[in-house]
Structures are given as C-alpha cells and as structure tokens.
C-alpha cells in the first residue's frame, strides 16, 4: 500500500477513521463532532465501521462524510470482515488512519501498518475483569501493537496512566480531552420551561438527571438507590434518565424503579436527539459511573448548559468538574444523595452561580474548536513526517 503522498500540495489530506461502531454513545458522538469541525480545506475524512448498524451513520453522511462498514457483529472480529476493511482502506488510500475504540484500534494497527496509525482510546481501564473475554484479548494485543503506533490519543489523563500500567507505550502518549459545542449546549430559559411543560415538571421542582446508555459501568442502580434516599428528605425532587435502552421497555430498570417506590418520581426518556434542550431543563446533572468512564461527554454537556454536576471519581470526571460541583466515591448511594442535598440546599440562585462557573470552565478548557485544532495539528505533523521518511527511502 502506498502512503498516499500528496501530488498536489494544496489538496486535502485523506483521513480514515476506523471505529468499532456508530451506535449512539460518548465515544461515537465525539467522533461525529470531530468530523463536523475538521477543516475541509486541509482534510477529507471518511469513516470505516466494523459494525453495519449505527444510529449515528446518517448524521455522518449528512456532513458529507462517506461511511463504509465491514458487516461484523458488535464485539466480534471476523476474517471476512477484516478482508472487507482491507479492501476499503486500499480503495480510500488514506494518508493517515485514526483508530477509534479498542476493536477499531486493533483493526487499524493490523490493516494499515504502512501508514501512520493513531490509536484512539476512549475509556478508562480499572481492571480487565470488567470487560468481555474478547475485549480483554483485544486490549492485551493492543498494548503490544501500541509500540508501533504513530501516536496514542487518550481522552483522559487517568485513562493514559491506567493503560500504560497494562503495557501500552508511554512514549506515544497524547491526551486530548473531549470538546463541547458551547453554542448548541448553552443555558436557555425557554428550553427549560418548554421541556418541563412537556414532562409535566413544575418550575419549582428540582430536576436531577442522569444521561447515558444503559450499561453496568454507568451504574443506574446506584443512581436510583440514591434517588430513593433523597426522596425521603425532599419530596419535591424528580429524576430524569435518558439514553439508549433507558426507557419503559427495559424491564430490569423499570422493575428496580418500582421496587424502590420511585414510579411517580422517575422519568425514562430513552434515546433523544434534543439533548441541549433536555440538559437546559435540569437543576443538577449526575454521572454515577462505577468504572470505564474516560471523559464523560454528558458531564461536559450539562456544564456547558450551566448545570452543576455531581459525579463519581471515575476517569477524568473530577478534573472536568473542578470546583464547580461535587465529586464523590463510586457505588455509594449515601454520598451521592448527600451531595445532591448540598446543591439543593444552596437554592436556585446558588445552583445557578455554580452553573455559570461550570459553563465558564467548559468554554475555557474544553471548547470544541480548540480540541479539533489539536487533532488537526497532530494529523498534519504525522503525515508530513511520513512523507519525509518515504521520500528519504
């Protein structure tokens, strides 16, 4: 395979993102945001997905980003799928391949070794036992292959330290946090009122939200246990949960809500495409993750909307929040409920002041434009280095 050296210096570099999948999730959404802001005068992006299904695929295509897939089942690599990916890479002739998530990284390293390959790691790694057997094998093989990557981009400092402890190359480490569109995600009194009217939530009620797909690492159970504790003290509090499979069809979740006596207090919204509106309606946002979280998109989006957050100390959540909210130990409903109580007792004006500080923190440290520029600088540097090396051969 050629390295895709630019015949015309003015022509854009070709980037191919090789991702595990395109279902709605924090890692996939960040890839979408990155593609949406890349300077098309300098870069032409395309996406290869291991899996055929993907709720975000139409949104990539709406940006003019071509999407191809290998037709694999989620979490499983197949020889036929890998051959399909190989043909697609040959067809696209990228100048650089960016892996995205564990299985995407593995495929990129195995199939594009003559190109600059950037590994993209999007989660923390507290212990391998939390992962499936295939993912554990993928992580171990990825650790060995990481020493041959052009760069390894983590979205959190905690994730970088943890993966290096498992054998990933420290020489190629680069931490680029997730970025946030502070124009779309912003305080909006009109949205706050409209969403609360839709949900039949009185303006004086305190609304606490958990945004995230249904997965054990998100620990919805502890969120609900904390909600039951808080409700004993503050009967006017309501709880909102949204994300993939967080809806009335999830029998396990619904049964737990009923067991805790929260049926009249918890709203299950499922997957939504209007998250800036939903976030604007919250008084407090939470991340109760027990493990695996690298850099929580939901936390940054809530903060950008001027909502103070209570988060568990997983991944870089404490760094994101800083002193604009509360950071607590994971898997502890009592401390989560206590942190919520503290923010409730501040009153609406106190929470709004914390929310203003939270938004300023996102704008100063995690604005999407500055994050995308860091990726662009990395890509340009690695492609230029590859070109020079090829010319010297």
Task: Assign 117 to helix, strand or coil.
Answer: strand
Identify the pLDDT of residue 391. 72
Contact 315, 309 (CB under 8 A): no
The residues, any chain, with a CB within 8 Å of residue 212's CB and separated by 6 or more, are 26, 218, 243, 246, 287, 289, 298
pTM: 0.88
Can you name the residues that pair with 287 across neighbouring β-strands?
311
**Measured distance CA(94)–CA(285) in Å, rounded:** 40
Question: Tokens for 341?
Answer: 């109580």
Q: Environment class of residue 387 by beta-carbon count within 10 Å: exposed (0-12), middle (13-18) or buried (19+)?
A: middle
Task: Assign 19 to helix, strand or coil.
Answer: strand
The residues, any chain, with a CB within 8 Å of residue 191's CB and separated by 6 or more, are 276, 277, 280, 281
Q: What letters, b where the CB count within 10 A reaches 16 and e where it falls short, cover 100-124?
A: bbbbbbbbbbebbeebbbbbbbbbb
CB atoms within 10 A of CB 2: 10
**Measured distance CA(3)–CA(311) in Å, rounded:** 44
Contact 199, 240 (CB under 8 A): yes
**Measured distance CA(242)–CA(301) in Å, rounded:** 14
DSSP 128: G
Identify the pLDDT of residue 74. 78
Identify the pLDDT of residue 386. 85
Identify the pLDDT of residue 6. 44
Identify the pLDDT of residue 41. 97
Identify the pLDDT of residue 132. 86
Strands (E), 162-205: 173-175
Contact 182, 368 (CB under 8 A): yes
Identify the pLDDT of residue 7. 40
Task: Assign 136 to helix, strand or coil.
Answer: helix
pLDDT in tens, the chain (393 residues): 333 444 444 699 999 999 999 998 899 999 999 999 999 999 999 999 999 889 999 999 999 999 999 999 876 788 999 999 999 999 999 999 999 999 999 999 999 978 999 999 999 999 888 888 889 999 999 999 999 999 999 999 999 999 999 999 999 999 999 999 999 999 999 999 999 999 999 999 999 999 999 999 999 999 999 999 999 999 999 999 999 999 999 999 999 999 999 999 999 999 999 999 999 999 999 999 999 999 999 999 999 999 999 999 999 999 999 999 999 999 999 999 999 999 999 999 999 999 999 999 999 999 999 999 999 999 999 999 987 766 766
Identify the pLDDT of residue 392. 64
Own/partner pairs, 136-139, CB within 8 angstroms, 24+ separation: 138/102, 138/103, 138/106, 139/102, 139/166
């Amino acid at each position: 395979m050629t390295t895709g050296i630019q015949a015309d210096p003015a022509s854009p570099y070709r980037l191919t993102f090789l991702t595990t999948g395109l279902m709605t999730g924090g890692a996939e959404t960040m890839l979408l945001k990155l593609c949406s802001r890349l300077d098309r005068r300098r870069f032409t992006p395309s996406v290869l997905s291991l899996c055929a299904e993907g709720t975000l695929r139409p949104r990539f295509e709406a940006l003019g980003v071509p999407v191809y897939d290998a037709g694999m089942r989620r979490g499983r690599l197949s020889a036929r799928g890998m051959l399909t990916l190989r043909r697609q890479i040959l067809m696209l002739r990228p100048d650089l391949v960016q892996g995205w998530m564990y299985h995407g990284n593995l495929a990129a390293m195995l199939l594009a070794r003559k190109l600059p390959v950037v590994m993209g790691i999007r989660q923390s790694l507290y212990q391998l036992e939390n992962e499936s057997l295939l993912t554990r094998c993928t992580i171990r093989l990825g650790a060995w292959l990481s020493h041959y990557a052009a760069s390894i981009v983590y979205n959190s400092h905690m994730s970088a330290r943890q993966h290096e402890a498992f054998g990933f190359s420290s020489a190629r480490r680069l931490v680029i946090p997730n970025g946030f569109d502070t124009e779309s995600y912003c305080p909006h009194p009109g949205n706050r009122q409209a969403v609360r009217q839709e949900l039949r939530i009185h303006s004086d009620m305190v609304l606490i939200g958990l945004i995230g797909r249904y997965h054990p690492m998100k620990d919805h159970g502890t969120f609900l246990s904390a909600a039951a504790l808080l409700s004993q003290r503050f009967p006017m509090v309501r709880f909102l949960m949204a994300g993939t499979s967080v809806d009335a069809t999830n029998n396990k979740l619904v049964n737990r809500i009923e067991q805790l006596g929260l049926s009249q207090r918890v709203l299950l919204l499922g997957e939504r495409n209007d998250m800036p509106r939903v976030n604007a309606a919250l008084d407090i946002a939470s991340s109760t993750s027990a493990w695996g979280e690298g850099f929580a998109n939901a936390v940054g989006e809530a903060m950008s909307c001027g909502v103070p957050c209570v988060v568990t100390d997983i991944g870089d959540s404490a760094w994101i929040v800083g002193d604009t909210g509360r950071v607590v130990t994971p898997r502890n409903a009592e401390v989560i409920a206590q942190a919520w109580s503290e923010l409730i007792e501040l009153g609406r004006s106190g929470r709004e002041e914390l929310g203003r500080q939270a938004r300023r923190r996102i704008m100063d440290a995690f604005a999407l434009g500055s994050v995308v520029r860091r990726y662009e600088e990395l890509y340009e540097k690695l492609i230029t280095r590859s070109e020079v090396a090829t010319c010297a051969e």
